[in-house]
Structure 1
């Protein structure tokens, strides 16, 4: 028996004696990092075919001249015919999920997450049932996701299931969600619960948990105050008193996922409940929280493999850093910086070896990189739905924690994810990639400026069949007092697609006189103006579906001294130097203490030299907040869907 689900695909692609292999992949099987790494080991350069114009351009510029250097694997996820000149004399094939899992129902297979195919391959081998949708689905729910839905008949069991799904970040496909919703709705005990929301959205589930916890504490308080010797049956039988449920609740409080409840100063609270109560003396719980996060980060760091693991990790490290900065305790801030440095040693190594793989991955079902964002917006958009994309220029996951806290207090909830920025993490590179939906290689003429963003944004949507008058773009928002009149999405009734740049965080970054302290306090002052709250509330009122993201994050760095190369260097950043001449680039790389970048996805005459972690090419000893490099806090940025509770 084959050891891996994609061995059959590798076998199929192993022998063709030609320079280009063309693959039709309508089942998104190549949406897999391990498979792409294997193909690379087989000598393939993997390229996703978007359309014939951009592919021809890429092929002529990058591959034709060095054809003997590469074996090219070009794949499409669409039902198209490749241009004739590439088919001629080359190998043309297709890959299909039902040939890998012949015993299962094909429609059910197609709705599965591609990350689960390894585990699916294992359980497929033992399957004895029919290939009907019903049999396949029941088997997959029980054996792949290990959910015994028929024994979930109490709130305790339901809480356990929901915590298993959301806290463990088990992403389950829509078809499995629908199956569970249908089964659970048949149970009378759950008739008053919003089962659909609780299963399908982690954000909604956490809001629900917070409400339940507030209610639980209120009930307890009432009993204590009124000296009722016997706490109410609700209190006694609540799932929070179950050990398994409470253990994970403790983690959610520790990791900042759910908020604590403020208590009355005089009230005595049982020891076990204290973790969920906002204490007057926070130091002990703060220490516990940071220790807990640090332990999890170190455990995850030891077994990291895929890009998704880094997204989970930055979320935790950012929580640690933001909590430490909020405490104003220099010891904790130092410990946060040490942890960040440890993470970045491994992350830099991964970036140099693996980052290029991300470029070959398809943008759907989930975006992996910032230029995937408009593709995902288009794929998820329903007919006539209005969509707003707000790019908070320079917002790292650390600032997102601060923004999120403020928005949460104002009644918003979120579907949170992370994506990778383009390297170098400069606005002109990564923000243009967002609005164009393209890799930087394709906009070499405008790579030093952001002036073409509006044109690129409108062109992208025009290609998707959206007339230009329905598409709006704005930049430079956030510095003025908020007014509906300034927002094109609210001013013009015709707008269906809205892209906007709010660049206050980037401005605060570059003017952070006291380093990160300035950034935190300036951001707090800006958030308190409620510019963002009002903008989001007004967009929701106008029925917009809202996404927030960033083009890059930021990091702290210390100057190693300015490097004077005059006109020899093409573009100078605080953490990056760009050379149009390869010889000059190689010469500088040999002299400067810097990291040579592999230029994945960048134009030919764009050679990138990056400063080491924690360093910048500025006056020796000067401490700044900046961006441009490949630290995790610069590269992995939030991608958030915003909802109102």
Structure 2
């Protein structure tokens, strides 16, 4: 498919190409990256004013710097001067998959279409039902016959929930209809298990606890559980246990007498005084080392997300103030960190800008977030929306916050995406992009301040037809004040809340990341509960809450501080911004262990960013700081968590601890 798409865009031929792309063919990251390598710049704006602004920014275009203007509509609906000058291309999804039912294929996300493009073509033209079965088989690896076996279904769901995009409803409905015919699943909440990773994880953990409770006679939890997974006799389910542990779906449970369980069950149980964290760290190290054995420079974002999730979990274990890793594991983390930083930077240089143009249906950059929220609102999936920004929250932080909130609020449902922050990952740039829905190039005049955010938030929603008083921007300081009255106003439809507490903790962590995570544990029990109260109030008033961050943070070591006087526009420990290339290169000559970043199609063309390589900082030599601004995994990848409230409660039937055998 990629070759067929690229054939429409030969390099160095047409200065301006107009592409009608109603099916989003050009949203695939492989295609976007290949076009960028050919020198093309893409502009895709539905708003005519924004379109004109972006086109004028891209001038002058030429055969060496060609421009593609993408529209979902007809080409003759574009401005006449562009229509007259441009080379015309029309892309249609059915021409790339002619033997499959077009409406079904169109429901796939770009990542799913890419997997489809790797599959063998069908031997004949398929109707809608046959297309659904074909896609379930080749895109989602769903074997109808095999999935009638509970062990196979559990293993398949475990793999499925590691993918980043959900299955389209037309495919999910067909799969669920087939599974409901299986007598073994009569008591299973199949809809929830397929729709929610949290529901699936909870189900597997409760089933394992029920089995262990039944085998040992120990009461592990007061709430009764419907025991439907036959761990005792299903050997395939027993064989799946290591994979469930490795993926993090299953966690070991602590029992007084683990020797009462068979050998195959031992990896998923702990003795009363045993700590599972060293074992989990070893698993994560193994997963990450295996990932580095694959070519990551050309990896898709989906593959990197799996790496990022494992690294975030390992980071939280690494800096646990109460139970630090062994010195051997700490050294292995250090070696792994250097390799991951280098691999991610290589990948980021190639994919960061192309992914920046892929806004919907799945966001990739944080400046896509307002557009994603507005898209969900236009689809009728929600009406009142609240964007809650926990400034400075890294993905590793969320691996601690998320489980705590899930345990306290079983009626909250969490859906998580991973996003790329803006380069440089400093608050003035990255949070402003997040609030405004704009690239930094579109707010060049305020690149060094966040003062414009309230107006930018209101301006975005004005484009969606909301008046200014329906979309307030509120700064939280919950240790001093209650949220303002705008949070409770019945007129509010699109609310933006920003909270700086975690970012303040980052900059106050003078003893390194372990110091920060000690503060985060306190935050969870004190300030974090106030944040939970705000979220609970919003959910009760019918809001959908979108929780995210503008950047993460790293522990870095000082390499010295430049003395460039007035030639620098913004001074940061992990990034310095210049509007003069010569000034930036002069500083780089004195600090050769740095990266000069510019002209990435997102920053203004006359801005240069100097960032220390790896985990160094513009700080006193050898000083340890916790900070942000650079391009590492920890700083660049942040969660976007959609929080909704559900009234559904899983039905259970009791499983009592059996009498312990005397012999």
TM norm structure 2: 0.88
Match of 2:407 among 403, 406, 409: 409
Corresponding position of 1:574: 573
Partner residue in 2 for 1:229: none
> Which residue, 69, 72, 75 being the options, matches 1:74?
69
Higher mean C-alpha displacement, 428-437 vs 400-409 = 400-409
CA shift, 1:401, in A, is 1.2
1:400–1:638 contact (8 Å) kept in structure 2? yes
Aligned to 2:150: 155
CA distance in 2, matches of 1:272, 1:124: 38
In structure 1, C-alpha distance between the alignment counterparts of 2:535 and 2:437, rounded to whole Å? 24
Q: Does 1:31 align with 2:27?
A: yes
Q: Distance in 1 between matches of 2:64 and 2:331?
A: 47
The residue that corresponds to 2:629 in the other structure is: 628
Is the 1:475–1:500 Cα contact (8 Å) retained in structure 2? yes
- After superposition, residues 587-626 of structure 1 pair within 5 angstroms as 587-593=586-592, 594-600=594-600, 601-626=602-627
Deviations 1:126-155 (A, max 9, x none): 33243x211211222234433222454343
| Partner residue of 2:375 out of 364, 374, 379 | 379
Report the counterpart of residue 651 of structure 2 in structure 1: none
Query: What residue number does 1:336 align with?
Result: 333
Change (3 A) 1:135 1:279: same
Identify if the C-alpha distance between structure 1 residues 247 and 535 changes in structure 2 by more than 3 Å, giving closer, same or farther: farther
Q: Relative to structure 1, is the Cα distance of residues 256 and 521 closer, same or farther in structure 2, using a 3 angstrom cutoff?
A: farther
Q: Which of the residues 494, 502, 505 maps onto 1:505?
A: 502
Distance in 1, Cα, partners of 2:54 & 2:219: 71
Structure 1 residues 135-154: aligned runs within 5 Å? 135-154=130-149
Alignment partner of 1:149: what SS?
Answer: coil
Provide the aligned length of Structure 1 versus Structure 2: 626
Q: Which residue of 2 aligns with 1:125?
A: 121
1:159-308 equivalence runs, <5 A: 159-167=154-162, 171-222=166-217, 238-239=230-231, 242-254=234-246, 256-264=248-256, 268-283=260-275, 285-303=276-294, 304=296, 305-308=299-302
Contact 1:575-1:616 within 8 A present in 2 as well? yes
Note if 1:533 corresponds to 2:532: yes
Q: 1:163 to 1:274 in 2, by over 3 A?
A: same
- The Cα offsets for residues 290-346 of structure 1, whole Å up to 9 and x where unpaired, read as 222112112223323122222221110111121232222462444333322221011
Secondary structure in 2 matching 1:30: helix
| 2:389 corresponds to which of 383, 388, 391 | 391
**Residues 140-149 or 599-608, more deviating:** 140-149
Structure 2 CA distance for partners of 1:72 and 1:167, relative to 1, 3 Å: closer
1:265, 1:139 → 2: CA distance?
Answer: 48
- Matched with 1:61 is 57
Query: What residue is the counterpart of 1:558 in the other structure?
Result: 557
In structure 2, runs of 5+ residues without a counterpart are: 221-225, 647-663
SS in structure 2 opposite 1:125? coil
Give the Cα separation in 2 of the matches to 1:252 and 1:533. 30
Q: Does the residue aligned with 2:336 lie in a helix, a strand or coil?
A: helix
Aligned equivalents of 1:525 and 1:432: distance in 2?
Answer: 28
Q: Give the direction of change, closer, same or farther, for the CA distance of 1:627–1:266 in structure 2 (3 Å limit).
A: closer
Q: Does the Cα contact within 8 Å between 2:151 and 2:236 map onto a contact in 1?
A: no
Write the distance in 2 (CA, Å) between the matches of 1:335 and 1:124: 41
What is the CA-CA distance between 1:644 and the residue it aligns to?
4.9
- 8 Å CA contact 1:352–1:598 kept in 2: the answer is no
Deviation, structure 1 residue 244: 4.1
1:573 CA drift (Å): 0.5
Q: Is the 8 A contact 1:16 1:91 kept in 2?
A: no
Distance change >3 Å, CA 322–CA 254, structure 1 → 2: farther
Contact 1:424–1:630, Cα closer than 8 Å, also in 2: yes
Q: Which residue of 2 aligns with 1:230?
A: none
Q: Indicate if the aligned counterparts of 2:11 and 2:39 stay in contact, CA closer than 8 A.
A: no
Indicate how the Cα distance of structure 1 residues 432 and 294 shifts in structure 2: closer, same or farther if over 3 A, else same.
Answer: same
- Which residue of structure 1 aligns with residue 223 of structure 2? none
Change (3 A) 1:610 1:223: closer
- Pick which of 458-467 and 216-225 moved more: 216-225
**What is the alpha-carbon distance in structure 1 between the residues aligned to residue 449 and residue 398 of structure 2?**
26
2:493 corresponds to:
496
Displacement after TM superposition at 1:599 (Å): 3.5
Give the Cα separation in 2 of the matches to 1:12 and 1:329: 53
Shift of 1:256: 4.1
1:44-59 paired onto structure 2 within 5 Å: 44-59=40-55
Task: Give the drift of 1:253.
Answer: 3.5
Post-superposition offset of 1:628 = 0.6
- SS of aligned partner of 2:606: coil
Q: How does 1:426-505 map to 2 (within 5 A)?
A: 426-480=426-480, 483=482, 486=484, 488-489=486-487, 491-505=488-502
Q: Matches of 2:12 and 2:340 in 1, distance apart? A: 41
Distance (whole Å) between structure 2 residues aligned to residue 538 and residue 301 of structure 1: 44
Aligned mates of 2:206, 2:591 — CA distance in 1: 55
Contact 1:311 1:419 in 2 (8 A): no
CA–CA separation in structure 2 for the residues paired with 1:237 and 1:573: 54
Say if 1:119 and 1:266 are closer, same or farther in 2 by CA, change over 3 A. Answer: closer
Once the two structures are TM-superposed, the CA of residue 278 in structure 1 deviates from its matched residue by 4.7
Contact 1:220-1:235 at 8 Å conserved across structures: no
Q: Distance in 1 between matches of 2:227 and 2:403?
A: 29
Contact 2:509–2:625 (CA<8 Å) still a contact in 1? yes
Write out per-residue CA displacement over residues 66-122 of structure 1, whole angstroms, 9 at most, x where no aligned residue: 646411112123567211111112112210100111111110110122223344235
| Contact kept? 1:393, 1:501, Cα under 8 Å | yes
SS of the counterpart of 2:454?
helix
Change (3 A) 1:644 1:280: farther
| d(CA) in 2 for partners of 1:256, 1:126 | 36
Q: 1:17 Cα shift?
A: 4.3
For the aligned residue pairs, the C-alpha RMSD in angstroms reads: 2.7
Q: What is the deviation of 1:643?
A: 4.3
